[in-house]
Structure 1
Amino acid sequence: MGQLRLLKGLDSCVGRIAVRIAAFIPQRLPAGPPASFLLIRPGGIGDAVHLIPTISAIKTAYPDATIDVLAEKRNSAIFRLSPQIRRVFHYDRPAELFRALCGSYDVVIDTEQWHRLSAVVARMARAPVLIGYATNERARLFTHPITYSQDEYEIDSFFRLLTPLDVAQRKVSFPFLAIPREAVERGDALLREIKEKAFVTIFPGASIPERRWGAERFGKIAEMLAALGMAVVVVGGREDEGQGKVIVAGGAGLNLAGRTSLSETAAVIQKSALLVSGDSGVLHIAVGLGVPTVSLFGPGRAKKWAPRGDRHLVIDKGLTCSPCTTFGTTPPCPIAARCMRDITVDEVCNAVTVLLAATGGLPSSCCQDKEGGKRRS
């Protein structure tokens, strides 16, 4: 988080000046259909996941073209789950940033929504076609500036970056993430601890405290699922390990928080009947894998980030002060994130059981009456 704050501070202080200087960098002239692309994607996991369908659309339109991505260390692992990508460079590693800038690309697409320094990087690549969002002074640096809306689903926003290339938006096919075989094998090995029992994955973490729902509440969900004959598997980073212990304290499941890489986490989620999570990157991984989700929204913008479709249930109290997050920044909350606190355990339990029943995720013993063998209502 300290590095993230530093990058945002640098962008605010230095970004405006850098934009003015970078505007004088000359661009190469276009020469024929694009054969090489560089997509710049700093930021978190959720943005990276939502960008994958756009990358697939580029590869469909230009099957012989190469696609490289310039990402940050914190989100770069997502792009390893896309076979259409040739190379992944790190935005926050100077040597790799330099290598990306030395490449010769026909099209550079800056997918960052607000911060200016990524637009400066795009300009420095000197591609004949530069595409990016026109949300502030950064618009001056692109050959094709694109408008951006806070109320548009993020996958659709990324698709609109392809408008100058005449690439038609395609219906997104699920799953659109591909997990490496070794990660699948590692996930299978970890899941042996629950002995092939049907399970629901819970991710209790969040990028900011205001998006946390609470380990004790998630523990109640685990108890409810145990009563239905299902296990719970908690995923997350090392910072979520303590919450995981609380959630499975009643012996209702397995705590894998801090024990898996991102691709291994994805492999575990792929095997689950459903994911329960707040507004998080892990939530979007489940969506990209085609796994049903119950998601809890508060400060975040559900219109932009909440999963779509009948395999996903979104709980959002819709308070007058929410959503309050804009371009990834959430202001201090004067009412202690009531938008999350007002979501009750009963609401989440009901959503989980309804979605499990609708998607066939409940164990057969839960769907039949013990005496007559009839499905319960």
Structure 2
Amino acid sequence: MILALRALGVGDLVTAVPALRGLRAAFYGEPLALAAPAWLTPLIELIGGVGRIVPTDGLTLHRWDIERPRLAVNLHGRGPESHRLLHAAAPESLWAFANAEADHLDGPEWTEEEHEVQRWCRLLRHYGVTCDETDMSLAVPDRSAPRGVTIVHPGAKVPARRWPADRFAAVARQLREAGHQVVITGSVSEQDLRVRVAERAGLPASALPSTGLAELAALVAHARLVISGDTGIAHLATAYGTPSVTLFGPMSPARWGPPDRPYHRSIWHGTRSEPGDRPGPDVHPALLAIGEREVLDAVTEVSAASHLMSKL
């Protein structure tokens, strides 16, 4: 059995898809298990090739309820905690970034300023596995979803990545007036934020769809456009090739942004992050520097690019 660890969120999972597919191809015929949060199961099923999900809560695991893996692959971080967690599964081999504190020295060195997709593919290439960094697509869930909606997603797990609600509402209102069918998405904990944005944009209650993870993926797959901060739904737009405008704050799009496609647009007015930087409790200044007109102009650009691509 091959065991991979990626105990993080939606965007983290999507950026690891090329590496997971590289593992699947390199060890075809052997079971591939993924240690990840159980709530990501609907999304993991859309990747294909993962035969077993080992539920984790971050790096907390009371014990590994699996057989001894032939190989464990750390797609989670640089260690040492994640390295030690995988060592506890007693694998015959461990593939991971070098970390002396975890007594793992044969892996490549960690590079802080590196795109997340490239990072994990580089790790696997170090061990002789081929990865296609463009292979980020997901299957479309078999769920009913409206087609052609414009999704505005104002939330983000980290406050520093949340563009002000009033600005999201202003953009949503102008898009509605321009003929877009706008919906406001978010998690259960973001319901008050969604309602506030919808009300200020003059949207009806029907613009607040109730979506689980599979339903959200289906909605994105069939959407006209996604507007969001640097959070998981932006990576779903990448996976489905849905035109998107993503607003970046504390983190550079060079590390977490979409691939270079004309129908994806990243907006960022920040500076290069430093190792150890962590988002604070307030909206990041780079996000506050983004104006509503800049977002609407970006919508026009990606919409035109998408229309052109559909004609080719």
TM range (shorter): 0.7 to 0.9
Superposed displacement of residue 224, structure 1: 1.8
SS of equivalent to 2:35: strand
Mapped contact 1:109–1:130 kept (Cα < 8 A)? yes
Aligned length: 305
Q: Which residue of 2 aligns with 1:170?
A: 132
Q: Which residue of 1 aligns with 2:167?
A: 217
Mapped contact 2:59–2:82 kept (Cα < 8 A)? no
Residues 1:66 and 1:303: Cα distance change in structure 2 (over 3 Å): same
Superposed displacement of residue 123, structure 1: 0.8
Mapped contact 2:74–2:95 kept (Cα < 8 A)? yes
| CA RMSD of superposed structures (Å) | 2.6
SS of equivalent to 1:347: helix
Distance 2:74 2:40 in 1: 15
Distance 1:303 1:344 in 2: 21
**Highest Rg: 1 or 2?**
1
Superposed displacement of residue 350, structure 1: 0.5
Mapped contact 2:18–2:133 kept (Cα < 8 A)? no
Question: Are 1:112 and 2:110 matched, yes or no?
Answer: no
Q: Which residue of 2 aligns with 1:148?
A: 110
Superposed displacement of residue 84, structure 1: 0.8
Superposed displacement of residue 278, structure 1: 0.6
Superposed displacement of residue 353, structure 1: 1.4
Mapped contact 2:9–2:232 kept (Cα < 8 A)? yes
Following superposition of structure 1 onto structure 2, how do residues 323-342 of structure 1 map, counting pairs within 5 Å? 323=273, 326=276, 329-331=278-280, 337-342=284-289
Distance 1:160 1:245 in 2: 42
Mapped contact 1:313–1:351 kept (Cα < 8 A)? yes
Alignment TM-score, normalising by the size of structure 1:
0.74
Q: Which residue of 2 aligns with 1:68?
A: 33
Alignment TM-score, normalising by the size of structure 2:
0.88
Mapped contact 1:40–1:71 kept (Cα < 8 A)? yes
SS of equivalent to 1:98: coil
Following superposition of structure 1 onto structure 2, how do residues 3-152 of structure 1 map, counting pairs within 5 Å? 36-73=1-38, 75-92=40-57, 98-100=63-65, 102-134=66-98, 137-138=101-102, 140-141=103-104, 144-152=106-114
Q: Which digits, 9 at most, give the CA deviation of each residue in 1:279-316, with x for residues without a partner?
A: 11121122112212111111013211011222211100
Q: Which digits, 9 at most, give the CA deviation of each residue in 1:320-339, with x for residues without a partner?
A: xx536847x32456xx5221
Q: Which residue of 1 aligns with 2:208?
A: 256
Q: Which residue of 2 aligns with 1:302?
A: 253
Distance 2:99 2:185 in 1: 35
SS of equivalent to 1:303: helix
Q: 2:188 aligns with which of 238, 241, 244?
A: 238
Residues 1:343 and 1:324: Cα distance change in structure 2 (over 3 Å): farther
Q: Could you list the runs of 5+ residues in structure 2 that have no partner in the other structure? A: none
Amino acid at match of 1:330: P
Amino acid at match of 2:198: V
Residues 1:278 and 1:111: Cα distance change in structure 2 (over 3 Å): same
Amino acid at match of 1:290: G
Following superposition of structure 1 onto structure 2, how do residues 314-353 of structure 1 map, counting pairs within 5 Å? 314-319=266-271, 323=273, 326=276, 329-331=278-280, 337-353=284-300
Distance 1:253 1:359 in 2: 29
Q: Could you list the runs of 5+ residues in structure 1 that have no partner in the other structure? A: 1-35, 362-377
Distance 1:270 1:147 in 2: 36
Q: Which residue of 2 aligns with 1:10?
A: none
Residues 1:116 and 1:49: Cα distance change in structure 2 (over 3 Å): same
Q: 2:141 aligns with which of 169, 180, 200?
A: 180
Q: Which digits, 9 at most, give the CA deviation of each residue in 1:223-268, with x for residues without a partner?
A: 22122211111111012222222333212784336x2111111111
Bigger relative contact order (CA 8 A; separation at least 6): 2
Superposed displacement of residue 269, structure 1: 0.8
SS of equivalent to 1:68: strand
